Structure formats: structure tokens, C-alpha cells
Amino acid sequence: MDSYSTKQLVEQDLKYIWHPCSQMKDYEELKPIIVDHGSGVKLYDKDGKEYIDIVSSWWCNLLGHCNPAINAAVKEQIDKLEHVIFANFSHEPAIKLCEELMEMIPKGLCKFNFSDNGSAAVECSLKMAFQYQYQTGKPKKKRFMCLSDGYHGETIGALSVGTMDLYAKIYKPMLMDTIRIQAPDCYRCPYGKCRDCCQCECFEHAEKDFELYADETAAVIVEPLLQGSAGMKMYPALYLKKLRELCDRYDVLLIADEIATGFGRTGKMFAFDHAGVSPDIMCISKGLTGGYMPMAITITTQEIYDAFYADYSEGKAFMHSHTYSGNPLGCACALAVQKLFREENILENAQKRAVYLNNRLNERLGDYKHMGEIRHLGLINAMELVKDPSTKEGFDGGLRTGYSIYKKALEKGLLLRPLGDVLYFNPPLIINEEEIDKAIELCAESIEEILGK
């Protein structure tokens, strides 16, 4: 393999590999980019071309590619123990990781169920909620509520509580019958309010649905503050506070999907921290290992855990497992990430650069004729491109405007994979000002070449 040219590697890739979330026919024109190595916010292809990874490789790379401290942690761990069955067996990295996480997760969460990807953590949370309700004498509570435009992964359970047709439509006959609450839509607010000055008037939809369906609902699941896959849609923390109250009033569990928002992405460690309330179950993945290893955790309360704790003969155990649960390499990465957070003021520095990034983006791109909105949360900045900002009417989806800009940006050395016509920056938290400036410049040039200024 070493002697393959880039061209040969591309040919062999297309011969064998079915890439995720892709129409493979698109690859006839836009060939796969063969990445050779990474460093910090940058990726380098086989021919030495540099790309700024402004989307953190699907929002998971947290502290830079090939971060020396995380690399060292993996190297040290791999010579000790690569993996071990996690039923009845345990290991120090997993135990220490739970201790570390206890210091930072929302209050009340204290029991950790490990899995190996975000969708698996979501499946785990749904099953846990369902079984909890059943085992605490509420067998009628077996449905789930979720927000419209939500995304929680692509396995069947996770798709059932997601509402994005792009991923779910074809599979509808296979999915659970879930209750969809109309989500906040702050950019096109039907109440004529704005994100920073509303009282979450749109929460009336949740209230109505709880009134109608809470008796049959085990849990409601949300992406807190940020509906990522829907186009980085952002909504106020007050919504979560109200949802917590409603869940308490109607005895419905609240599941926080912090897979995309966890570990400082929103400016605080977890998105729920902005609301000052705790969920009953929280799913984490992606940034947990710095984006190094497929690892996820579903974390819950003592109360939920206790509902499964009984003599074996009662059949109350949570019979849910994944082969790679608690993988020691993943735990070693996660511990290294936590150490860096503690020792290098990652969160504080990221907050400062978040202000810089948003200011610079607004200065450079704010007046572009097709810029609908630049919304931001932590270092996440989303630019919604529209046909006409005065009406907020979007482009015809068939034009694939965002995709055209993506291709242009790639030519220039910026990995700016869009969500429809929403371009976004969601960089590793360690990005510096110079890298921000360069990424903005490349983004601006790419937009100009497709849409003009």
C-alpha cells in the first residue's frame, strides 16, 4: 500500500468504500480526499495540501488533531491493556474517568453506562427510561416525545426520536410512534420575538403536548440549546428550564442529548449548565475522548439506577451491552482531555476566542447580500444563507448552494461541510486567532465566488 500514488488510493477507495452520509455518485466529480496526517486544527492530504478543519471532523475533534498529550495517553495505555470485557471486570481508567466527570456534570447525575457511539448512547437512554417507568409501576408510559427538527443519531430508536426527513423519511414504517413537539424557530420566530428577548412563547406547544400525551410518555429527549443537524438552530436556555418544570409536573423523564454540545462547545462545559437545571439522563460522546475514540456514556441518577437494583430473580437488570463498553483506550483519551481542561484553561481561552470569532465573522461577512443570520453559541457560529434576507426565504434546495460553497472552500483549503445552506464554524477549542482569520478569509472568498458579496 505504501507505494500507492494518490490517484491509485482514490481509485481503490472508490472501488471498496461506501462513505457515510453520501450520495456516492457525487464522488464522480468530487473525489475522496486522502488524508495523510493531522496537527492542531489542520489536516494534510497525501500531496501535502493543508485543510483547516473548521467543523472539527463532524464536531468531535476537541483539542486538535494528534494532540501530543492525548497521543501520549493512548500510547501509554495500549501497552498496558487495550480492551477487556466490562461485565464483572473493570479498570482504573474507567473508574478515574467517572470520578473526573462527577466534578463537572450537572448535579444529580452519578451512574455511568458506557457504550461506543452517540446513537448507541441514545438507544441506551430510551431503553433505560422505558424500563424505569415500567419497573416503577407506570407501564403505560412507553412513548417518547422529541422536538421537531431534532437529530439523535441514525439507528432505529435514535431515528424514531429524530424528526429530520433527510435521515428518517424512507424508514418511517420501521420507526416508533413518537410525539413531536414543535421546536423553537428563533430565526423565523412565528411570535415575532428574538432569541435574546423572548419568554419562550413557543413553549406553549410543549405544554399542549404534555397535557395530551404525558400519561403515555416515558421521556422527552432534546438537543439542548443547539439543534445541530437541523442547521445549528439555537434556542434560549429558558426553554430547558421550562421543560424541566413541565417534566417534573407530569412525571416525564428528561433526556439531554449532549453528544454535540458537551465539553465546552457552547461556552460552558455542558449546554444544560446555561439553564442551571439537570436532566434525568444525559448522553455524551464526540468530545468526550477529544474525538479520538468511539466512546459514549449514558449517565443517570441514583433514583433511576435504584429502580433496576434487585435480586437477580426479579429480572430487573438493565440487559443492555456493547462489546466495546468502557474501552480502556477511550477512557485514557478522555482522562487526558480532562487533564488538559484543568491545566490549560481550555474553556476560558475558548470563550475569549469565541468573542473574537463572532466579531470577525460579522465584520467580514455580516453584510453579504445573502447572509440571513450569523448565530453563535460558544465557538459555534452558523451562517444561514438565504435567497432574500428581508423575507428570510431560503434558496431552492435543488441548487445545492451550500454544497457548491463547500467544494469551493475545499479547493482553497478549508473543510467547511455545510448543513444544507447553513455554513458553520465549529472548530476545535484550541483554534487561535490567526487560524480564525484565515478560515474566515477562505470562507468569505468561497461565498463570494458562488453568490457574490
Q: How far is the CB of 285 from ligand PLP (least distance, A)?
A: 5
Contact 178, 130 (CB under 8 A): no
Q: Assign residue 304 a region (left: φ > 0; alpha: ψ between -120 and 50; beta: otherwise).
A: alpha
Closest CA to 357 of 378, 341, 384: 378
Single out the segment in contact with ligand PLP by CB under 6 A; choices: 31-39, 111-119, 240-248, 303-311: 111-119
Residues of this chain, 375-434, that bind ligand PLP according to CB under 6 A: none
Amino acid at 214: A
Q: Does 125 bind ligand PLP (CB under 6 A)?
A: no
How far is the C-alpha of 240 from the C-alpha of 190, rounded, in Å? 19
Q: Assign residue 242 a region (left: φ > 0; alpha: ψ between -120 and 50; beta: otherwise).
A: alpha
Enclosing H/E stretch for 122: helix 118-135
Single out the segment in contact with ligand PLP by CB under 6 A; choices: 148-156, 343-351, 369-377, 414-422: 148-156
Q: How far is the CB of 59 from ligand PLP (least distance, A)?
A: 6
Contact 351, 388 (CB under 8 A): no
Single out the segment in contact with ligand PLP by CB under 6 A; choices: 117-125, 141-149, 266-274, 402-410: 117-125
Q: Does 114 bind ligand PLP (CB under 6 A)?
A: no
Q: Does 56 bind ligand PLP (CB under 6 A)?
A: no
Using CA atoms of 114, 115, 116, 119 in order, give the dihedral in degrees to the nearest 10: -130
Torsion angles phi and psi, residue 348, rounded to 5: -60, -45
How far is the C-alpha of 76 from the C-alpha of 221, rounded, in Å? 38
Q: How far is the CB of 183 from ligand PLP (least distance, A)?
A: 13
Q: Does 53 bind ligand PLP (CB under 6 A)?
A: no
Torsion angles phi and psi, residue 384, rounded to 5: -90, 115
* Single residue of 112, 114, 144, 151 touching ligand PLP by CB under 6 A: 151
Q: How far is the CB of 192 from ligand PLP (least distance, A)?
A: 29
Q: How far is CA 72 from CA 326, 343, 420, 451, in A?
A: 19, 16, 38, 45
How far is the C-alpha of 313 from the C-alpha of 446, rounded, in Å? 64
Q: Does 118 bind ligand PLP (CB under 6 A)?
A: yes
Burial-class residue 404 by CB neighbours within 10 Å (0-12, 13-18, 19+).
Answer: middle
* Single residue of 91, 152, 265, 375 touching ligand PLP by CB under 6 A: 152
**DSSP bridge pairs for 147:** 181
Q: Does 259 bind ligand PLP (CB under 6 A)?
A: yes
Q: Does 442 bind ligand PLP (CB under 6 A)?
A: no
The number of angstroms, rounded, from the C-alpha of 42 to the middle of its chain's C-alpha atoms is 20
* Single residue of 56, 67, 117, 301 touching ligand PLP by CB under 6 A: 117
Single out the segment in contact with ligand PLP by CB under 6 A; choices: 61-69, 141-149, 256-264, 401-409: 256-264
44 or 167, CB closer to ligand PLP?
Answer: 167
Q: How far is the CB of 117 from ligand PLP (least distance, A)?
A: 4
Q: How far is the CB of 227 from ligand PLP (least distance, A)?
A: 8
Q: Does 119 bind ligand PLP (CB under 6 A)?
A: yes
Q: Does 122 bind ligand PLP (CB under 6 A)?
A: yes
228 or 372, CB closer to ligand PLP?
Answer: 228
User: Cell 474566515, residue?
Assistant: 440
Amino acid at 162: G
Number of residues engaging ligand PLP in binding (CB under 6 A):
14
Amino acid at 385: L
Q: How far is the CB of 297 from ligand PLP (least distance, A)?
A: 12
Q: Does 260 bind ligand PLP (CB under 6 A)?
A: yes
One-letter-per-residue 3-state SS of 403-449: HHHHHHHHHHCEECCCECCEEEECCCCCCCHHHHHHHHHHHHHHHHH
Contact 448, 369 (CB under 8 A): no
Q: Does 255 bind ligand PLP (CB under 6 A)?
A: no
Single out the segment in contact with ligand PLP by CB under 6 A; choices: 23-31, 222-230, 344-352, 416-424: 222-230
Q: How far is the CB of 357 from ligand PLP (least distance, A)?
A: 21
Contact 19, 32 (CB under 8 A): yes
Q: Does 159 bind ligand PLP (CB under 6 A)?
A: no
* Single residue of 228, 267, 394, 418 touching ligand PLP by CB under 6 A: 228
Q: Does 223 bind ligand PLP (CB under 6 A)?
A: yes
Those residues with Cβ within 8 angstroms of residue 403's Cβ, 6 or more apart along the chain or in another chain: 418
Footprint of ligand PLP on this chain (CB under 6 A)?
Answer: 117-119, 122, 151-153, 223, 228-229, 257, 259-260, 285
